[in-house]
Amino acid sequence: MAPPLLQKRLFSGLLLSALLLALLLTDLFLSSLTPPQWVVPGTKINLAHWLYNGAISSLLVLGFTWMAARELVNFARNLGFRPLGKVAQVFSAGMVLAPFVAFNFKEGLLLGNESWGVLWMAMAVGFSFFMQAVRRGTENAMVNIACTQFIILYAGGFAGFLTKLRMEVGGPRGMLLMLLSVLIVKMTDTGAYFFGSWFGKHKMVPWLSPKKTWEGFVGGILTAVAVAWICAVLLERNGIPVGPVQHLPFAARVLLLGVSLALFSVAGDLCASLLKRDAAVKDSGDSLPGLGGILDVLDSPLLAAPAAWFFWTRLTPLP
């Protein structure tokens, strides 16, 4: 019989996964429909179009990002730093919402251009300087501003690539590719856990993550490639190309997808472990009973999100 803690983690994980899957499938279903006309009087803005085109997935990512930024602020404060908490959370949220707003409101406004993300980061730096000067003067200005910008980039910037993937591809296909990418990443964690438990003998980085082994690392990559292969077969059978179709054979594209997401998944997990160890905490928080904090769940997808976005939108021709 599994230990009580493991049972609690399994129950919480399954419940959270079922809830998220239900919401994402709802987003997938809505994006396949033609939205009704809920036009704002005096404008051409159709609110139904916004609701049917990525609202649920974007709000989910936004919620996770807001809580992740708050946990990172607490990490910094545990170490004696004083990041600008609300600034970090608000601008992190903006990094997630910007792709949703841009790609629903881009007609004639050029809001789909990636340079808007750079402008938002520049605004975040400028506002951080302003708030530091108004509230705290010169006291640890560089450290406080640097901490704030790191949180915005790590929590908001990386998570924003999930929304970018969802919105740039668009429609049911965008939701599906986002969902499958997160699935591959989380299955990497699952494969690494079980392979490490069964065969693990050689520690990977014992001072940072004592339970991680090289056997688990290899098992995670093999699991990611296997899941990527299944997903790729199903996608191509339904007319959705996987990777740079004209340049690589199918097996190479699957390996590229599975291995790249697996490597970024493991790196993301280790990065979060580094931050938690530095802050002297076991879990990033207690917002998810049995699972810890948001960063304990989001650590791998955060770092893998840019890789998934690049694979599906830059190595795969958009429809």
Would you say residue 176 has pLDDT above 90?
Answer: yes
Query: Which tokens sit at 152?
Result: 């915005």
Per-residue pLDDT tens for 228-252? 999 999 998 888 888 776 678 889 9
pLDDT value at position 67? 93
DSSP β-ladder status, 209-213 and 203-205: antiparallel
Would you say residue 319 has pLDDT above 60?
Answer: no
Label residue 7 by pLDDT band (50, 70, 90): low
Helix (H) or strand (E) holding 69: helix 55-78
Compute the average pLDDT of residues 195-219. Answer: 87
Per-residue pLDDT tens for 12-37? 667 777 888 899 899 999 999 988 88
Domain residue ranges of the chain, discontinuous segments joined by +: 171-319
Q: What is the C-alpha separation between 183 and 300, in angstroms, rounded?
A: 11
Label residue 138 by pLDDT band (50, 70, 90): confident
Q: Are 262 and 317 in contact (CB under 8 A)?
A: no
Lowest mean pLDDT among 4-13, 89-98, 173-182, 310-319: 4-13
Which residue in 198, 247, 246, 251 sits closest to 220, CA to CA? 198
Give residue 83's region: left, alpha or beta (phi > 0; psi -120 to 50): beta
Q: Please provide the distance, in angstroms rounded to a whole number, between the alpha carbons at the two ends of the chain.
A: 50
Q: Is the dihedral of CA 114, 73, 64, 312 positive or negative?
A: positive
- What Cα–Cα distance (Å) separates residue 317 from each residue in 118, 247, 259, 297? 24, 12, 20, 31
Label residue 282 by pLDDT band (50, 70, 90): confident
Which residues have C-beta within 8 Å of that of residue 141, sequence separation ≥ 6?
A: 129, 132, 133
pLDDT value at position 5? 54
Q: What is the C-alpha separation between 130 and 153, in angstroms, rounded?
A: 19
